[in-house]
Amino acid sequence: MTLINRLAPFPAFFVRRKIFGQKIPLLADFKLTYRCNLACVACPFHRRTGEESDHMSWTSAMTSLDALKRLGTLIVVFEGGEPLMWQDGRYDLYDLIDYAKRHFPRVAVTTNGTFPLDMPADIIWVSLDGLKETHDRLRSGSFDKVWSNLHASRHGRLFVHFTINRENRHDIRPLLEKLKNIPAFCGMTVQLFYPYGQGEAPLTLSDGERSAVLEDVIAMKKQGFPILNSAGRLRAMIRNDWRCHDDILINVDPDGTFTRGCYVKSRGRINCRACGFSAVSEASGAIDLLPGSLRAGWSIFLK
């Protein structure tokens, strides 16, 4: 499939959504497994390892991808747990990516970065939550391994994803300075820690901390740091007054369950007041044709 052919469905998607009112999901958050080699203090999902359906089968994955295709989904993001730990018999994540790339315009992976970053996905996000001391405290002492893999990667669309919480909110600027030395690094996206209430650490930002750190992120973006979130959506997240089009999201869990709407809907208690899911805010802005969100989407998925 050529690049032009892979990008062509995006304008058609907006026509179908905006003119014909069809509620097509833009993005699928595809959890392959709850299994993980880390036990990050901010994450509730590794705690579900050992459940009867904590790991998707190849057949279930194929069935789910085919269903997403029929629904008109354009972007699939594989995650976990740790998606690079997914395997079923002779099949692994690379096979899933290969299959998905034949059926979807864009395929991404979100990983903890402890495995080589050479997978054939269009986009790779590496979760990095601070400088060494902070990241190691939050993410099972994994910083050195992640940093080594970032340095070694030659992937063309490699991003860092930073989940802001009470312990790491002061690390964003120095981490961005350090990331300048990573040849493959293409930019950072940020979101805010969300309290699932399922055993993760109490890392929720206060309203004042939330406002201050997002203002600082906006300032960094203005100063030229490669932050890919749009300033408009970051400001909207300070006010928490953005219009949420949660029907653009569809969630797939390791047991094969599909859930339309909010990322939290099948995974915890929904509290919109505490929402920090910048990806949904940005995609909602794109649906509303906000220029900043459209530019952010282009920079991440289409450029």
Q: 261-272 pLDDT, tens per residue?
A: 888 887 888 888
Q: Which two tokens stand for residue 169?
A: 């909110």
The residue with tokens 């029907």 is 247
pLDDT higher than 60, residue 86: yes
Per-position DSSP letters for 185-207, written without gaps between them: EEEEEEEE-----SS----PPPH
> With respect to CATH, is domain 3-302 assigned 3.20.20.70?
yes
Residue 2 has what pLDDT?
61
* Cis peptide bond upstream of 224, omega within 30: no
**Phi, psi for 145 (deg, rounded to 5):** -65, -45
Query: How far apart are alpha carbons 150 and 209 in whole angstroms?
Result: 30
Query: How far apart are alpha carbons 109 and 53 in whole angstroms?
Result: 21
Per-position DSSP letters for 69-94, written without gaps between them: HHHT--EEEEESS-GGG-EETTEEHH
Q: Helix, strand or coil for residue 250?
A: strand
Query: How far apart are alpha carbons 257 and 196 in whole angstroms?
Result: 19
Name residue 185's amino acid: F
Name residue 60's amino acid: S
Q: 193-236 pLDDT, tens per residue?
A: 999 888 788 999 999 999 999 999 999 999 999 999 999 999 99
* CB proximity list for 81: less than 8 A, separation 6 or greater: 31, 32, 33, 34, 35, 36, 45, 46, 49, 54, 254
pLDDT higher than 90, residue 14: no
Q: How confident is the model at residue 274 (pLDDT cuts 50, 70, 90)?
A: confident
Q: 114-158 pLDDT, tens per residue?
A: 999 999 999 999 999 999 999 999 999 999 999 999 999 999 999
- For the ranges 21-25, 110-114, 156-160, 291-295, which has the lowest average pLDDT? 21-25
- Expressed in angstroms, the distance from the first to the final Cα of the chain is 17
Residue 8 has what pLDDT?
83
Residue 50 has what pLDDT?
84
Residue 267 has what pLDDT?
82
pLDDT higher than 70, residue 1: no
